[in-house]
Structure 1
Amino acid sequence: MALNWLDLLMIGVMGLSGLVGLMRGLVREVLSLMTWGIAIWAGIRFSHDMAMLLESFIPSPTARIAAAFGILFILTLIMAGMLGFVLARILETTGLSGVDRMAGLLFGVARGVLILTVGVFLARSTPFPKEPTWQAAQLIPVFQSLAIWMEAQVPPGFVPRLGEKSLSH
Structure 2
Amino acid sequence: MDVNYFDIAIVVIILITTLIGFMRGIVWMGIFLATWAAAILLAIKYKDSVAQALPIKLDSTIAQMGLSALLIFLGVLFVGAIINFLFSKAIDVVGLGTFDRILGAGLGVVLGALAITLLTMLLGLTELPSKDIWNQSRLIPKFQEASTWLQTLIPDNLKQYINDKNDGSTTLVPSGSEHSTDTDIPPNTIVPSSN
Which amino acid letter does the alignment assign opposite residue 22 of structure 1? F
Residue 41 of structure 1 corresponds to 41
Which amino acid letter does the alignment assign opposite residue 68 of structure 1? S
d(CA) in 2 for partners of 1:21, 1:53: 39
- Say whether the 8 Å CA contact 1:148–1:167 is kept in structure 2: yes
Q: TM-score, normalised by structure 2?
A: 0.79
d(CA) in 2 for partners of 1:2, 1:27: 40
Residue 131 of structure 1 corresponds to 131
Residue 145 of structure 1 corresponds to 145
2:172 partner SS: coil
Quickly say closer, same or farther: Cα 1:149–1:41, change in 2 above 3 A: closer
Structure 1's consecutive aligned runs of 4 or more residues displaced over 3 angstroms after TM superposition are: 155-158
d(CA) in 1 for partners of 2:28, 2:71: 22
Which amino acid letter does the alignment assign opposite residue 45 of structure 1? K
d(CA) in 1 for partners of 2:57, 2:150: 46
Q: TM-score, normalised by structure 1?
A: 0.91
Higher helix share: 1
Structure 1 residues 72-111: aligned runs within 5 Å: 72-111=72-111
Which amino acid letter does the alignment assign opposite residue 76 of structure 1? V
Residue 160 of structure 1 corresponds to 160
Residue 71 of structure 1 corresponds to 71
Give the RMSD, CA atoms, in angstroms: 1.8
Quickly say closer, same or farther: Cα 1:152–1:45, change in 2 above 3 A: closer
> What are the ranges of 5 or more consecutive residues in structure 1 without an aligned counterpart?
none
Identity rate, percent:
26
Q: Which has the higher contact order (CA 8 A, sep 6+)?
A: 1
Residues 48-81 of structure 1 show CA distances to partners (whole Å, capped at 9, x for unaligned) of 2222333545333322211111011101101110
19-28 or 37-46, which moves further after superposition? 37-46
- Say whether the 8 Å CA contact 1:3–1:138 is kept in structure 2: no
1:153 partner SS: coil
d(CA) in 2 for partners of 1:49, 1:160: 30
Residue 51 of structure 1 corresponds to 51
